[in-house]
Amino acid sequence: MSDAFFEREEAEYGYEGGAVKPYLSALIKPKIYEGIEEGKFNKNEPDEVYDIDYIYGYNGWICRQNVYFDYKYRIVYNCAAVGIVLNTISNTQMLFGGGYYTKTIPANLKIHTDDITALAISKDRKLCATGQVGNTPIVFIWETETCKLKDGDFSIKLAPNTNEISALAFSNCGTYLTICDNSINPSIYVYFVENGKLAYSDKGDGHKICDVKWSNNKQTELHFMSVGIKHVYFWDPFKASGKLKRKGIFQIKINEDSNISPDLLTSFSCVVSDANGKFYTGGANGLIYVWKKNQLQVTIKAHEGAIHSLCYATKKENNSDQSYDFILSGGSDNFINIFDLEFNKIYGFSVSSTPRSIDFYFHEGVAGCSNGSIYTFTIEDKKVDERKIKELMASNSDGEVWGLDLIDNLAITSGDDNKIIVWDIVKKKKINTVVIDKIKGEKLKNGASTMSSFADNQCSRFIGINTNFNNHVAVGTNCGEVQIRRSIHLIDRVEAILHEPTRWIEFMSYSPSGELLAVGSHDSNVYVYNTKDYILKCKLTGHSSFITSFDWSVDSNFLRTNSGANELLYFNIREGKAEKIEGALIKIIEWNSCNNKFAWETNGLYSIGVSESSINSVCLSNSKKILATGDDFSLVNLYRFPCVKGCLRISLRGHSSHVTRIRFSKDDNILLSTGGFDKAIIQRKKGSLI
């Protein structure tokens, strides 16, 4: 039988197509395009592309021990699918990752494509190793000076079903790299750094491995220790005979008797070695454990709560050749404590959340926290001048990030973490943070799906600015309320609260005139308010599912709306009431924006592998030349506008999660995007396609 018998044919506009894709029957070609046949539209990729200029965010909620100084005092860390080297003086970044691909320009396969879950730096601080999540996770070794792969093509790919890289560590001699996976039965691998060949591998004990470190002593530099969930092991992989791995022994000698306290048995998230070859581990019970070989020597109470990070450091005294060694620890009590090697506490200071990573280089320290903040601090005379503690990076940090808008040189974001953050996209830094709601409400049964620990009234999935009238900022919450805030400069002032929507808000937009605000709710309705007094003008009904997006007409009299049921409806609100419209009138309406994924101008978005549900956000450039989309495949895609069937795209990489929102700057020179779970805000600048 001929294969042609089973050929697939796309349903055209009309009844049959509308039965499975309701929007198809509502697609009406605008009058301005009537004289152009579909084959006459330019379907090539846009001439312009957007390259990553800066990434706001740091992954401190998944990773640990993933912030370091390199040999030039630059900060090395990761966010989303990108390794970052931050010059703290110029506030510029070099990146390992990102880039773009097209139909004719192939994707770079030698960069990360998913969340980076582990990072390590070599003893000379010139090489960085990063590993990612995935069924067959991959590790890259790259140079911090160039952000290019070591020897041009260095990568290590683990076997299928190893799930993710949970920890990495270079040996102090620089010869080896230890890799830990997070499979059902976690394993440890030792690779040669020079050629990427496997030198040793073995299974762990069935528990997750959270951290691994080699000995810092030259005589025992080929030993390392791994810790994790109920896991403490000492490894000697190149020993000629005898056991190559040994469990940690928790017995402590007290008054001639060897005793073990049940309180000492715990899980560990960090380990470090001193110059004498002793290992120190941080326990979930707030104790630091000191080990000699595989024998526990002593424990010290260091924190109220679990210890998440440890660092061994040496510092020279001012104007002296003398130096002293110390241990820094970070705990869930949000403190960084400093101890000498006799475990006398030298100093302690607090940061905004749990320190998940600590590093120290010569006189300066750096700490990465679970809320996505990175701090630097200086130790002088065995003290930290807390006035000089500097926050280098901030992030939205719980659940997902969806809210994004721009005005002039400022951007604003919101998410599921009870935070609204204002960013200066010229100076490239956070300038303000306020809470969404100080009072925690109830968790709603029909609220937005989220992993956040905050209540629905403290989470926001959309934020919009009235740039054409009064500069008000509308904040849509996950309980359905909409807060009206005075301006981006006075973001802490709430002017009004709108209560009519009953489900969470996914989309809002001020009209081109600035006199109206439309609010799209998951109760399947659109609410239109006057912006002078925020009294409800009209309510748009007719959708069978939640509202995902809409567009205003240039004259602010019409709306075209999309829903989760793939519907496209048109409304006339000119007379102060919502009237559904069809037919010839629609053809002559000039639309001010293109936020809808279901519209005549966006019907070319759907090709092989691209479904309606995979596109989360659509945004048209202010020049109306480029259409950008954010999808479930971590990509920002660029098309020519209008995007008719057969249009080619440029796909921009960098995110490691579904891209939730996209916005162009007023002059189109900057493109911002937010990643849902990666919580990254990626700022791109306009360039030319190669």
pLDDT of 260: 53
Please give the biggest Cα pair distance in the chain.
97
Average pLDDT over residues 285-310: 95
H or E segment and range at residue 16: helix 15-20
CA 405/CA 539 separation, integer angstroms: 25
Residue 236 CB-half CA count within 13 A? 12
- Please state whether the peptide bond connecting residue 137 to the residue before it is cis, i.e. omega within 30 degrees of 0: no
Q: Is the dihedral of CA 214, 215, 216, 217 positive or negative?
A: negative
DSSP result, 534-564? --EEEEE---SS-EEEEEEBTTSSEEEEEET
State the chain's mean pLDDT as an integer.
Answer: 92
Of 135, 10, 8, 125, the C-alpha closest to 76 is 125
* Residue 319: per-residue pLDDT: 67
List the structure tokens of 37: 């046949």
**Span of 192-196, 615-619, 652-656 with lowest mean pLDDT:** 192-196
**Is residue 407 predicted with pLDDT exceeding 50?**
yes
**Span 528-542, mean pLDDT?**
97
Instruction: Judge whether 648 and 102 are in contact, CB under 8 Å.
Output: yes
Lowest mean pLDDT among 18-32, 171-185, 364-378, 601-615: 18-32
Predicted local confidence at residue 671, as pLDDT: 98
Lowest mean pLDDT: which of 34-48, 270-284, 505-519, 612-626?
Answer: 34-48
pLDDT value of position 373: 98
Residue 608 φ then ψ, to 5°? -60, 125
Distance CA 148, CA 96 (A): 7
Q: Tell me how many degrees the CA angle 367-371-377 measures, rounded to the nearest 5.
A: 25
Q: Is 258 a residue whose pLDDT tops 50?
A: no
Residues of 290-316 as b/e, b for ≥16 C-beta within 10 angstroms?
bbeebebeebbebbeebbbbbbbbebe
pLDDT in the model for residue 251: 74
Q: Is it the case that residue 15 has pLDDT exceeding 60? A: no
The candidate with the shortest Cα–Cα distance to 552, out of 561, 539, 542, is: 561
410: confidence class by pLDDT, cuts 50, 70, 90: very high
Under the banding of pLDDT at 50, 70 and 90, the label for residue 46 is very high
Query: How far, in Å, are 157, 159, 620 from residue 138 at the CA level?
Result: 4, 9, 36
DSSP, collapsed to helix, strand or coil, labels residue 533 as coil
Q: How many CA atoms lie within 13 A of 530 on its CB side?
A: 8
Report the range of poorest mean pLDDT among 21-25, 367-371, 477-481, 656-660: 21-25
CA dist 6 and 17 (Å) reads 19
123: left (phi over 0), alpha (psi -120 to 50) or beta: alpha
Average pLDDT over residues 650-674: 97
Residue 323 reports pLDDT greater than 60: yes
pLDDT at 35 over 90: no
Residue 316 CA from chain centroid, whole number: 37
Alpha carbons 533 and 160: distance in angstroms, whole number: 59
Nearest-5° Cα angle at 303, 299 to 307: 80
Helices marked H in 514-630 — which ranges?
A: 584-587
Strand partners, 551: 560
Q: Are 556 and 513 in contact (CB under 8 A)?
A: yes
Q: Which pTM value belongs to this model?
A: 0.94
* pLDDT band, residue 250 (cuts 50/70/90): confident
Taking residues 192-216, what's their average pLDDT? 95
Helix (H, G, I), strand (E, B) or coil at 24: helix
Q: What is the pLDDT of residues 335-344, one digit of tens each?
A: 999 999 999 9
The residue ranking higher by pLDDT, 242 or 74, is: 74
What is the three-class DSSP state of 567? coil
Measured from the Cβ of residue 2, the count of other Cβ atoms closer than 10 Å reads 6
CA of residue 506 relative to chain centroid, distance: 20
Q: What is the pLDDT of residues 561-574, one digit of tens each?
A: 999 999 999 999 99
Structure confidence at residue 357 (pLDDT) = 98
For residue 252, give the amino acid letter.
I
Count helices and strands (H / E) in the chain.
2, 56
Q: Where are the beta strands (DSSP E) in 12-91?
A: 48-56, 68-69, 75-79, 82-87
CA dist 542 to 109, 193, 545, Å? 46, 62, 9
Can you give the pLDDT at residue 444? 82
Domains and CATH numbers, the chain: 58-393 (2.130.10.10), 395-688 (2.130.10.10)
